[in-house]
């Protein structure tokens, strides 16, 4: 991914307090022949945009002028989940085509589609597409909640995803596991 876009030529920005339609229009207007698009739809109040650095700068100005609470450039090494990642997507596709994917034993909600899949071939294609497509986190979480999921378990350092889930629906339970102590706590909390 880092090789796909020279350092400094791409950028990402977090947009807070603006709806997706406003953000998408601002990105389209700011692009001016470059890439500028929603990259991560994290919650109703948080969207990350990605693309060419100049276009992202223009989008930040437009979004601030149009009422976004915050529009902040992120300190990232590349503009992930946008069309600029297509070269990385193509390289990953070649590698993933060489790997056998079996039927999934548990349905998977993908970032690219925000719907369940069970077929290995679909999983492969979703992994490929997600490199340059928008992460549809909000839709995926809403789908799970609509299916009756009441508890979300975040595995890994920090609680970023748990925080996003809470922004989407405060009525669900979030548990974080990042070390042995939090694993014990989660085990006890989930046993209740």
> Cα(142)–Cα(144) distance, rounded to whole angstroms?
5
> Cα(130)–Cα(112) distance, rounded to whole angstroms?
5
| pTM listed for this prediction | 0.91
Q: Indicate the SS3 state at residue 115.
A: coil
Q: CATH 3.30.70.250 residue ranges in the chain? A: 2-80
- In the prediction, which pLDDT does 6 show? 74
Q: For the chain, give the mean pLDDT.
A: 95
Q: Indicate the SS3 state at residue 111.
A: coil
Number of residues that this document lists for the chain: 192
Question: Phi and psi for 132 in degrees, rounded to 5?
Answer: -115, 0
Q: How confident is the model at residue 61 (pLDDT cuts 50, 70, 90)?
A: very high
Is the pLDDT reported for residue 4 higher than 90?
no
Dump pLDDT digits (tens) for 66-100. Answer: 999 999 999 998 999 999 999 999 999 999 999 99
> CATH: 3.50.50.60, 3.40.50.2000, 3.30.70.250, 1.20.1730.10. Which one for 2-80?
3.30.70.250
> Cα(190)–Cα(140) distance, rounded to whole angstroms?
22
For residue 23, list its beta bridge partners: none
Is the pLDDT reported for residue 8 higher than 90?
no
């Amino acid at each position: 991914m880092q090789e796909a876009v020279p350092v400094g030529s791409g950028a990402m920005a977090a947009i807070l307090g603006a709806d997706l339609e406003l953000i998408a229009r601002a990105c389209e207007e700011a692009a001016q022949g470059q890439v500028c698009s929603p990259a991560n739809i994290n919650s109703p109040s948080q969207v990350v945009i990605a693309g060419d650095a100049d276009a992202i700068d223009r989008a930040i100005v437009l979004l601030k002028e149009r009422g976004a609470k915050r529009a902040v450039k992120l300190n990232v090494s590349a503009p992930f989940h946008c069309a600029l990642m297509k070269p990385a997507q193509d390289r990953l596709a070649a590698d993933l085509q060489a790997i056998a994917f079996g039927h999934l034993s548990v349905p998977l909600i993908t970032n690219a589609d925000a719907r369940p899949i069970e077929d290995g071939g679909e999983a492969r294609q979703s992994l490929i597409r997600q490199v340059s497509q928008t992460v549809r986190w909000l839709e995926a979480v809403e789908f799970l909640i609509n299916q009756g999921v009441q508890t979300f378990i975040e595995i890994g350092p920090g609680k970023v995803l748990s925080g996003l889930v809470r922004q989407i629906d405060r009525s669900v339970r979030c548990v974080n596991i990042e070390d042995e102590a939090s694993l014990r706590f989660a085990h006890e909390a989930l046993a209740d």
